[in-house]
Amino acid sequence: MTKELYIIDDDNIYRMIASRMISRVAPGSPITECENGLIGLSKLEQNVNSDSEIIVLLDINMPILNGWGFLDQIADKKFFNNNAIKIYIVSSSTDESDLIKAQQYDFLGGFLHKPLKKEDIISIIEK
């Protein structure tokens, strides 16, 4: 199954780094870059009938709709009925409270710390 990746993060340098690394690990996988949670949601909704497996790399602190707001909306919209979407938080935060908060979303794929390493991306994509 093809894998589509969504990078939701307001830091455009990070998005460039991440998409470059993904291209090296999984050449040819479509990558969509979104500046905040709201853009991420609308791009996902356009693509809701896709057959591909969807992987989301989600930042926490973003303007307009942050990572938590994005997760709340995803939970409301029940995107997970087909189980074909995996969401990973990727944050530079080492704040304990963020980790605890993340555990409340049982559908999360994991919590990764920036900077993303090549091994992180390999393990996400090959899961």
Q: Write the binding mask 17 to 56 for another protein: x where contact by CB under 8 A, - elsewhere.
A: xx-xx--x--------------------------------
> Whole-number minimum distance, CB 18 to another protein, in Å?
8
Residue 43, judged by CB atoms within 10 A of its CB (0-12, 13-18, 19+), counts as: middle
- Is 75 or 99 the residue whose CB approaches another protein more closely? 99
CB of 40 to another protein, least distance (A): 19
Closest CA to 68 of 22, 113, 100: 100
End-to-end CA distance of the chain: 12
The DSSP line for 41-78 is: HHHHHHTTT--SEEEEEE-S--SSS-HHHHHHHHHHHT
Q: Which of 2, 42, 82, 92 binds another protein (CB under 8 A)?
A: 92
**What are the two backbone dihedrals, phi and then psi, of residue 96, each rounded to the nearest 5 degrees?**
-55, -40
Q: In the bound complex, what is the minimum distance in angstroms from residue 126's beta carbon to another protein?
A: 18
Residue 116 sits in the site that holds another protein (CB under 8 A): yes
Q: Which is nearer to another protein, 48 or 115 (CB)?
A: 115
Positions in the binding site for another protein (CB under 8 A): 11, 13-14, 17-18, 20-21, 24, 61, 92-95, 98, 113-118
